[in-house]
Structure 1
Amino acid sequence: MIIKQASRIRPSEITDRDVWLRRRQLIKAAAAGSGLLLGGMSGVAAALYRGPGDLNRIGNLRETDHGKELKPTAYKHITTYNNFYELGYGKRAPAENAGFLKPRPWTIKVFGECNRPSVVDIEDVLKLDQEERIYRFRCVEAWAMVVPWVGIPLGDFLKRFEPNSRAKYVEFTTLYDPEQLPGQKRNVLDWPYREGLRMDEAMHPLAFLATGLYGEVLPNQNGAPLRLVVPWKYGFKNIKSIVSIRFTEKMPNNTWRRTASDEYGFYANVNPDVPHPRWSQKRHRVLGKGLFGSKEDTLMFNGYAEEVAHLYRGMDLRKNF
């Protein structure tokens, strides 16, 4: 999903430490035509994440029909060009700091307006995947990229806890642990990170919890061990490293709405007709296509209007952005 630039920090002005330390080697490689510097990614980082094969495979995958016509973005781009402020503020910082995060052991607390609150171990979630259905999603992701996600339908997961009639929204919270997530040592945001969905959004079959990508468990920098993916919304909605899910009657005051309400609303639906206060959203860059990425027109609801537009019928989408 296309992500609006969230920070006033300009990552383009930040030189990665590994690039600086190995700058002569990179210059030689680039001069030799090795292609290590693609789309602004450091060659060192790309080499560290060559492709699938280093992480545990997820079995019993069932391919979905979503995005079969789309060519997935290269694994090295997906895993080295990320927004995950908890692991750092440059696009490459999450991959560089990924080793701090320990995705095992891990539990997710589910509570609030439901009849069966529980604490679920991530291993049980993965077993649930294999016993029922696993989806491999290809969705338009950040800036944009096409990610072959592995995940489970969010709605099916939430139904297990029997939300009651007062459950109008679902709130998600990220781990708060500055030792594992060094970006939390800076007060850039009001930690921990929180996001939310309306119940009908959460129950939509396109919304899912990602447990992996490229057929393997999630890399830390991509939100291990469990993250949200809502394909028709901007990427900041896709909260990572989830530790709690709460059913609530009131709209959650999500992190970016608390931080910059004039720039980031609750709904975060992709809408090219509503400009960000500091830039247009009519076009976006496609990561991995050329040195700086090619530009493409941004589609309403990220191209999923046929599936999700009915959720917002009668709403003013300029006011409810």
Structure 2
Amino acid sequence: MAYRWTNDLTAADVTPKSAFLNRRQLIAGTAGLGALFAAGGASAQEELEPNSFEEITTYNNFYEFGTGKTDPADNAGEMVIDPWTVTVDGLVDNPGDYALADLLDGLTTEERIYRFRCVEAWSMVIPWNGVELADILDKVGVQDTARFVRFETAVQPENMPGVRRGVIDFPYVEGLRLDEARHPLTLMATGLYGEPMPKQNGAPMRLVVPWKYGFKSIKSIVRITLTEEQPVNTWQEINAREYGFYANVNPNVDHPRWSQSTERRIGGGLFSSRQDTLLFNGYEEEVGELYADMDLSVEY
């Protein structure tokens, strides 16, 4: 497992795994891309304690297994994740059906502590491990005409009660603009807390884009397609008025049915106060330039 560091931080500053797993306070590092990519932006100097493994793995959305927050943990056990094949196609030099191990072979695995913000206005802090999506894209060779990356999830009706019940149309689809996909914060996560990714959190590989609402971070990916045209993601297809393509965390642009100005931190306790939502989830310094010429109330 490799770590990144900048300025006066070195590998010696990284919290030992034993302390990490005991949920001790983790040093956020200096602004932006610090030792563990923790926090970021305006609040990079604060100490962030990740949510517990139990909180992360028992409270989340994964509609393939049901619509309740505990449904993924209750129902994901039967999903088959070995063997796992990822189809890479579209505008790439090396298309094909890749065994996951072959797709990741030779790439550097890193540990990143990121804020996670759901469009439902709850949040966590999660320690992921994985590889930069940009490294995967470089490996398969992106052609000059590609502008977007489209993703699809696995569909296993026999193992996914949400799929059997037709909760929404499957496969779940998401997409990123190519410069978003290539950003160094964008991670293909294969685990959390230094362990393999739990099934209910998107095993064996999921996308993590920390400045966007959680529904962009598509789980259990089986297809990556490079395309010239902007994909239509699942929630756009369901209700484009409420869910846009970009899904950047923005306290100034409300969901039509609720405010996005504050959020509830999971694990904070029943009577804990809500906290202010940060623009781009606190990563404005790192990613703000990607949207400098956009009206984020229109391109939401």
Q: Which residue of 1 aligns with 2:177?
A: 198
Q: Which residue of 2 aligns with 1:215?
A: 194
Q: Which residue of 2 aligns with 1:177?
A: 156
Whichever of the two has the greater Rg, that structure is: 1
Q: Which residue of 1 aligns with 2:96?
A: 118
**TM-score (structure 1 length as normaliser):** 0.78
One-letter code aligned to 1:262: R
| Separation of aligned partners in 1, 2:213 and 2:38 | 17
Task: State the Cα distance separating 1:293 from its structure 2 match.
Answer: 5.0
Please tell me whether residue 78 in structure 1 is matched to residue 56 in structure 2: yes
Trace 1:198-277 onto structure 2 (pairs within 5 A): 198-277=177-256
Q: Which residue of 2 aligns with 1:66?
A: 37
Q: Which residue of 1 aligns with 2:108?
A: 133
Please tell me whether residue 167 in structure 1 is matched to residue 146 in structure 2: yes
| Separation of aligned partners in 1, 2:153 and 2:272 | 30
Please tell me whether residue 144 in structure 1 is matched to residue 123 in structure 2: yes
| Separation of aligned partners in 2, 1:165 and 1:146 | 36
Aligned residues of 1:87 and 1:94 also touching (Cα < 8 A): yes
One-letter code aligned to 1:296: Q
Q: Which residue of 2 aligns with 1:317?
A: 296
The SS at the match of 2:151 is strand
1:189 equivalent among 161, 165, 168: 168
Q: Which residue of 2 aligns with 1:303?
A: 282
Change (3 A) 1:293 1:174: farther
| Separation of aligned partners in 2, 1:192 and 1:220 | 17
Provide, for residues 265-305 of structure 1, a one-character-per-residue CA deviation record: whole Å limited to 9, x for no partner: 00000011001110000000000011365411000000000
With 229-238 and 158-167 compared, the bigger mean Cα shift is at 158-167
Gaps of at least 5 residues in structure 2 are: 1-19, 22-33, 40-46
Aligned residues of 1:64 and 1:136 also touching (Cα < 8 A): no
| Separation of aligned partners in 2, 1:132 and 1:114 | 18
Q: Pairwise CA RMSD of aligned residues?
A: 1.8
Aligned residues of 2:66 and 2:167 also touching (Cα < 8 A): no
Change (3 A) 1:292 1:258: farther
| Separation of aligned partners in 2, 1:108 and 1:167 | 19
| Separation of aligned partners in 2, 1:293 and 1:84 | 26
Provide, for residues 177-205 of structure 1, a one-character-per-residue CA deviation record: whole Å limited to 9, x for no partner: 21122101123312110000000000000
| Separation of aligned partners in 2, 1:185 and 1:64 | 43
| Separation of aligned partners in 2, 1:136 and 1:184 | 32
| Number of equivalenced pairs | 259
Task: State the Cα distance separating 1:165 from its structure 2 match.
Answer: 1.3
| Separation of aligned partners in 1, 2:112 and 2:36 | 8
Please tell me whether residue 88 in structure 1 is matched to residue 66 in structure 2: yes
Aligned residues of 1:138 and 1:148 also touching (Cα < 8 A): yes
Gaps of at least 5 residues in structure 1 are: 1-50, 53-62
| Separation of aligned partners in 1, 2:240 and 2:114 | 27
**TM-score (structure 2 length as normaliser):** 0.83
Provide, for residues 79-110 of structure 1, a one-character-per-residue CA deviation record: whole Å limited to 9, x for no partner: 00010000111000100002121111101010
Aligned residues of 2:127 and 2:192 also touching (Cα < 8 A): yes
Q: Which residue of 2 aligns with 1:38?
A: none
One-letter code aligned to 1:86: E
One-letter code aligned to 2:38: G
Q: Which residue of 2 aligns with 1:48?
A: none
Trace 1:101-112 onto structure 2 (pairs within 5 A): 101-112=79-90
Change (3 A) 1:292 1:182: farther
